[in-house]
Amino acid sequence: MSIDATHDPAARSWVELANEEGCDFPIQNLPFGVFAGKGSRGRIGVAIGDQVLDVAGAIETEAVTFSGEVASALSAETLNDIMSLGPPAWKAVRATLFSLLQEDSPRQDRLLRSMAETTMQLPAAIGDYTDFYASRHHATNVGRMFRPDGEPLMPNWLHLPVGYHGRASSIAVSGTNVTRPSGQLKPEDGPPVFGPCKLLDYELEFGAFVGTGNEMGTPIAIGEAMDHLFGVVILNDWSARDVQKWEYQPLGPFNAKNFASTISPWVVTMDALLPFRSDGPARQDDDPPLLEYLTPVRGSGDAIDVTAEVHVCSQAMRESDIPPMRLSRGTLANLSWSFSQMLAHHTSTGCPMRPGDMLGSGTVSGPEKDSRGCLLELSWRGQEPIDLPDGTQRRFLQDGDTLTISAFCERPGAARVGFGSCEATILPAR
């Protein structure tokens, strides 16, 4: 894929709000999502300004014309079918919808619905979900906490993208409340007990959706990996830290991670992200050389520069009309392993990937304290509590807290592209 007219920062839409400065969804973005139609049946939509374009409706009214295969895929209840068709189809659909929404095209207001009055659903039927551990800063911070006298990074970390298989069935769309999990906890001075998690945490992440998959036994080459990825969402991988520290040895995350993960509803396509992609990610001078199958190919644009902000709002803050407080600000560009490296490594064994599978980045943290992507790091295992405007402190999340992650891309010479938000409120344990 290459930069074309759909990325022109001067392009404008007949949807007025899409042209306003700071809008997440200008005509240069056109992210895909699924909204609830009649009887909650999913319909594919595209975000533009403060509106949702009904893509299936555009096809039904012949406002746009696609081939039978593409039209059928865009009329489905999830994005899986259009994800499966690959970059040429994705690019053609994007160009057609761009033309439909351009300022000098006839208005099609009947195809729009207010975003504020629209219920969004999961964008895809997620068959499998793998979460990685791709931030060097996060891995180093956690290593220093739990191995203060040893090397913070495990011996394999600089050689391969470490990951674990998550639970796809517990992925929910933004706005879905999260119930505090209960689990087996190990007090310092006694036997295990079962009860509500006390150390509930968020993790600022991003998720990449697989588009075209691969046959079992056939790896995806690193130079082709980005063409197998459809787009990116914000991901909050909720974590029960006290459950995690007791159960994770020797096999890693299990119940501490399987109760909920939240994603934003709009999938920002890899094509829309082209102005913000570059070669990478960068390696440090003393890092070991990468094996060939993980070595990025020049010009493939594996690294993506996306800024994210995390805000928290307690129940008391909401009741007193106190605005949410920012906890941290980070960037996807800080990752030491890219989504293409994750996909190449994941399939290097011949593991088959399918349209709609999701790869999580792992916690996105940066070098500064205010760029740490979870409370485990921000409060340094609870030793440095965070003061909230309501007079309370947070070491970890409390019931009633609302956690919101927003994200956007900005670069000189390009239109700003946003992701919307990923939000959930913590409910008491059942």
Q: What is the Cα–Cα distance from 68 to 72, expressed in whole angstroms? A: 6
pLDDT band at residue 37 using 50, 70 and 90 as cut-offs: confident
pLDDT band at residue 1 using 50, 70 and 90 as cut-offs: low
Architecture of domain 5-121: Roll (2.30)
Fold entry, domain 129-427: Fumarylacetoacetate hydrolase; domain 2 (3.90.850)
The whole-number average pLDDT for the span 4-27 is: 97
| Residue-wise pLDDT tens digits, 115-170 | 999 999 999 999 999 999 999 999 999 999 989 888 999 999 999 999 999 999 99
pTM score, whole prediction: 0.97
Q: Which residue has the tokens 């319909």?
A: 43
Residue from 371, 376, 404, 351 nearest 201 by CA:
376
Looking at the chain, which residues constitute the CATH 2.30.30.230 domain(s)?
5-121
Looking at the chain, which residues constitute the CATH 3.90.850.10 domain(s)?
129-427
The whole-number average pLDDT for the span 342-366 is: 98
Given the residues 138, 228, 345, 346, select the one marked as catalytic: 138
b/e 22-53 (16+ beta carbons within 10 angstroms → b): ebbbbbbbbbbbbbebeeeebbbbbbbbbbbb
The whole-number average pLDDT for the span 287-292 is: 97
pLDDT band at residue 38 using 50, 70 and 90 as cut-offs: confident
| Residue-wise pLDDT tens digits, 189-242 | 999 999 999 999 999 999 999 999 999 999 999 999 999 999 999 999 999 999
Residue from 93, 39, 38 nearest 267 by CA:
93
| Residue-wise pLDDT tens digits, 96-106 | 999 999 999 99
The whole-number average pLDDT for the span 358-383 is: 97
The whole-number average pLDDT for the span 161-184 is: 97
Q: Does residue 173 surpass a pLDDT of 80?
A: yes
Strand-pair partners of 326: 311
CB atoms near residue 19 (< 10 Å):
16
228 in catalytic set: no
CA 106 to chain centre: 34
- Residue 60 has which token pair? 């039904």
